[in-house]
Amino acid sequence: MKKTFKIVTVIAGFVCLFYACKKNTSSETTTQSVPPLQIGQAITGTTLGTAGGSPASVKGTMLANTTYNVVGDIQVPKGDTLYLQSGVTVCVAVNANIAVYGVIISMGTQANPNVFTCCQSGATKINTIAQAESPTTDPAWNGVSAGTAEGWWTGISCDTSCTLCCLKWTNVEFYGAKFATTYAFVGGTAGSISYGVLFQNTNGDLIVEDSWFYGGYDDCIRIQTGRLSIMRCTFEKNGGTSGDVLNAKSGSVGDMAYNLFMGTCTNGTKASNKGGNAIECNINMYNNTYVDGGYRQSGWAGRSGSIDYEQGAEGKAYNNLMVNCRTGARVCLSPVADTINCFMGNNYAYGDSASVLDEVFPVGHVTKPGAYVFPTAAECNYVFNNSVGAAAYNASAEVGQGNPKFKNFPLPEAGIVHLYDINWGGAPNAWDFHLTAGSPCIGAGNITAISPLAATRVTKAPFAAIITAPGADIGCYQSNGTGNQH
C-alpha cells in the first residue's frame, strides 16, 4: 500500500517547500525525499532580456547547475522573488543591468557556488602581483577595452522597494559599468557608475555570506540604508581609482565580520552617517583581514586603506588585522564621526615600510591609543589628541616587526607604494592568509568588548543570517576552523 502526502509550508510569505513521503509496508520504514527548494515557477528559458530592449521582468526559480544568459536588462518586479538554486551561473552582457524591486535570493553552497559574471571575451582575471600593472589596463576595472574606467555590467541594483537581498556562497565579478540610460530605481542615473550590489531600504535586509567579489570600478557594496549582515566574504581588487568595498550610509545598521579584503582601492569597511536618515549609521566591524589596501586611491590622504568611521557614524572595530595597508583604522574628524560612540581595540597592524607604520594612527584623525595590541601608541610615539587628531609621528622602529605569520604569503613585501593588485583566487601559489602556529594574532582577540548587532530580521532558515561571534584570534581566519571558509 502506498500513500503520498504533500505538505506545503509558507516561509516569510513567499517560499513553498514540498515534501513527499513513501511508506514501505514490508518494513514500516519511512523515507523522505526533499526536492530542491523552488519559489514560484521554474525559469526554463536560459536567455533573458532583449538586447537594446526594455527591461524584461524575471521571477521564479533559476534551476540548479544551469547557465542563464542575460542579453539585455532584466528586473525583479515589486512583490515578486527571483530565487537561485545552487550551481547557477548568470552571464550578463556588457552594460546590461539587473534591477530588483522585489526580492532576490541566491543560495549557492560551498561545493556548488552561484556566479554572476560577464562572459564577454576579455573579462578575464589577472592573478599576479606586479608593480608595473596599472588600473588603466586591468580588466578588473575596464569594461570592453583598456582605459574605459568602468566595469563590464551594472551589478545588482536594489530599489528602495526591495525588502531582501540575500546572497550566500555567490561570486559576483566584473560589475561597475556606467548606466547607459536612466532606470526607474533610485540611483540608476544615466552615466553614473554602478556598484556590485546597491541596497537602500531602511526596513529591508541585506544578507551577504561566504561570497566572493572581484573587480568593479566604484563601491563594491553600497548600503544607502538598511539592516545588514556581511560575513565571511572575500573581496579582491575592488575599486579602480576610487570606491570603498563595503560602504554603509545613514540608516544602515549591522555587522561586517570575518571578511578578507585584498588589494582594495580605498577602505575595506566604511561607515558614514551621510544621508540624513533618522537612524544613525551603526556598524560593528570585527575579525576582518585587510591586505595591501588603499594604493590606487590618489587622493583622500589618511582615509584609504582599511577601516573608516566618518560623518556622524558610530560602531565598534575589534580583532581586525591590517597588513601593509596605506592607513590604519580611522575615526574621522572632518567630517567628524560620532567619536563618543566609536570604540576600537585588539586590532593588529603590520607594515613593511615607515610610510605604512606612520599612518597606522592616521595623521589628522582620531584613532584612540588602545586601538591596537600591536603596534601600541607608545611604540609608535603617537600622542592622542581628541580635538585635533594625530600629529605626525615616527614609527620606523616597528617596520617589519610582528609578522602575523600567514600560512602562505610573502612577508616582507618589496615596494608596496604602488602595489596595484594583490590577488589570490586562481593565483598559481594560492595565497593563504590562515594563521600558523606561533602567530602573535592567535589568542589576541577580544570576545567580550564587542558583540554582533545582529540587526537583520529574517528568521526563517535557510535565508536568515548565520552570524559568527567575535573570535579569540585576530583576523578573519580562526585557528579553531571557524570564520572565513575560503
pLDDT digits (tens, 9 = 90+) for 376-397: 999 998 888 777 778 889 999 9
pLDDT in tens, 167-221: 999 999 999 999 999 999 999 999 999 999 999 999 999 999 999 999 999 999 9
* pLDDT score of 30: 57
470 domain-assigned: no
pLDDT in tens, 331-346: 988 889 999 999 999 9
Give the mean pLDDT of the chain. Answer: 88
Q: How confident is the model at residue 300 (pLDDT cuts 50, 70, 90)?
A: low
Residue 280 has pLDDT above 90, yes or no: yes
94 and 2 in one domain? no
Distance between CA atoms of residues 288 and 446, nearest Å: 13
137 and 21 in one domain? no
Residue 49 has pLDDT above 50, yes or no: yes
CA dihedral of residues 459, 461, 462, 467 (deg, nearest 10): 60
| DSSP class of 390 | B
Question: How many domains does the chain fold into?
Answer: 2
452 domain-assigned: no
129 and 20 in one domain? no
31 and 107 in one domain? no
* pLDDT score of 7: 30
86 and 234 in one domain? yes
Beta-sheet pairing, 432-435 with 89-92: unpaired
* pLDDT score of 415: 57
DSSP per position, 302-355: TS-SSEEEETT-BEEEES-EEES-SS--EE-BTTB--GGGEEEESEEEE-SSHH
User: Is residue 349 within 8 Å of 322, Cβ to Cβ?
Assistant: yes
Q: Which of 232-236, 251-255, 291-295, 447-451 has the lowest mean pLDDT?
A: 291-295
Q: How confident is the model at residue 318 (pLDDT cuts 50, 70, 90)?
A: very high
Residue 448: how many CB atoms within 10 A of its CB?
7
Q: How confident is the model at residue 10 (pLDDT cuts 50, 70, 90)?
A: very low
Residue 416 has pLDDT above 70, yes or no: no
95 and 12 in one domain? no
Grid coordinates representing 237 are 581588487
474 domain-assigned: no
CA of 163: how far to CAs of 9, 227, 282, 339, 467, in Å? 21, 10, 20, 31, 20
Grid coordinates representing 157 are 541594483
Residue 418 has pLDDT above 50, yes or no: no
For the segment 411-431, the average pLDDT, to the nearest whole number, is 61
Distance between CA atoms of residues 223 and 220, nearest Å: 10
Distance between CA atoms of residues 302 and 89, nearest Å: 39
CA angle 310, 312, 314 (to 5 degrees): 80
Distance between CA atoms of residues 232 and 170, nearest Å: 12
For the segment 42-59, the average pLDDT, to the nearest whole number, is 96
143 and 16 in one domain? no
7 and 110 in one domain? no
295 domain-assigned: yes
277 domain-assigned: yes
205 domain-assigned: yes
Residue 429: how many CB atoms within 10 A of its CB?
11
225 and 101 in one domain? yes
Residues in contact with 387: Cβ distance below 8 Å, sequence separation at least 6, in sequence order: none
Nearest to 177 by CA among 156, 208, 201: 156
For the segment 276-297, the average pLDDT, to the nearest whole number, is 93
90-115 residues labelled b (16+ CB within 10 A) or e (exposed):
bbbbbbbbbbbbbbbbbbbeeeebbb
* pLDDT score of 3: 33
* pLDDT score of 18: 30
Cis peptide before 440 (omega within 30 of 0): no
Last residue of a domain, one of 435, 453, 470: 435
17 and 114 in one domain? no
Residue 26 has pLDDT above 50, yes or no: no
267 and 138 in one domain? yes
446 domain-assigned: no
Backbone φ, ψ for residue 341 (5° rounding): -110, 25
User: Is residue 352 within 8 Å of 399, Cβ to Cβ?
Assistant: yes
71 and 22 in one domain? no
Distance between CA atoms of residues 3 and 442, nearest Å: 56
Q: What is the largest CA-CA distance in the chain?
A: 84
Backbone φ, ψ for residue 369 (5° rounding): -55, -35
Structural domain boundaries, residue 19: 1-35
For the segment 279-296, the average pLDDT, to the nearest whole number, is 94
For the segment 461-483, the average pLDDT, to the nearest whole number, is 97
52 domain-assigned: yes
Last residue of a domain, one of 403, 419, 435: 435
